Structure 1
């Protein structure tokens, strides 16, 4: 077994202690940041994502968002946090669970309102075609292309198309 995966020399994924998975962290400004261990990647998985995350006091995981094609789940292991779900807020504590079904058009984010770290599992699909909507900023992220768009930049299906001209490449008679 190497230090970056639980897959042995025979290509078999073996059991491992979560604490042996490399700890990663991110932060963006004063508001956002967390640390996490990608358990599923370490274990050789690529269809379902499982991460053991820790959210420090006063931090939020990410901007409020929802997924069009991916389902996400969160299970609180230790501590407490506030789930922002659309216009509502819910305090979640150890033993609480929530599911964010694909296509549920209500943004969600997690915020640690306490003075202690909160540890939880995040479980979700890894759909390469997912579209993620960020209601607060109006951003739409298309995972397949790696691009983001503004929701306000929508256009009609026929906008920009000349509907009166002959098709390009039409054979000459």
Structure 2
């Protein structure tokens, strides 16, 4: 925990980062697990405007996620299904293949506010079924991103490609 931080945080006191990508992805959010002294558990808070999503449809191979809806209404796209969600709903996103792919879409008229909680694996692979991408990343023991690569299977190289003597 940072010197001035308590083991308690209220979302209304968080400084949020605002970002957007294209016409569908937008959020005001922040991560704050480290401020609570957590090393192996990621915690975040997000506010997604009406008609937007805070992330692409994706699945994790290692990490698990949990979302708690605080305010607003939305659709939880999970695998091939879509579920209406609202305040008090708790959403699970276990590790797996495309059958556990997920994202939240704000289908209401006010910002969709939620907590996100996830395991923090040292190494993770994510797939993005809508776009055919994958993402590989590693983290240091302190949770900082060490390596990240995003690509598509057709851009793969042979295991021995570029090695000396080959």
Question: How much does 1:45 deviate?
Answer: 2.2
Corresponding residue number in structure 1 for 2:90: 97
Q: Give per-residue Cα distances to partners, 1:35-64, cap 9 Å, x unaligned.
A: 113231322323111111111101111110
TM-score by length of 2: 0.81
The reply to whether residue 58 of structure 1 matches residue 31 of structure 2 is no
Alignment of 1:1-173 (within 5 A): 7-8=2-3, 13-106=6-99, 107-144=101-138, 145-153=147-155
Number of equivalences = 154
Q: Tell me, which stretches of 5 or more residues in structure 1 are unaligned?
A: 1-5, 161-167, 169-173
Counterpart Cα distance in 2 of 1:155 and 1:7: 43
TM-score by length of 1: 0.78
- What is the root-mean-square deviation of aligned Cα atoms in Å? 2.4
Q: Tell me, which stretches of 5 or more residues in structure 2 are unaligned?
A: 139-146
* 8 A contact 1:18–1:37 mirrored in 2: no
Counterpart Cα distance in 2 of 1:19 and 1:95: 17
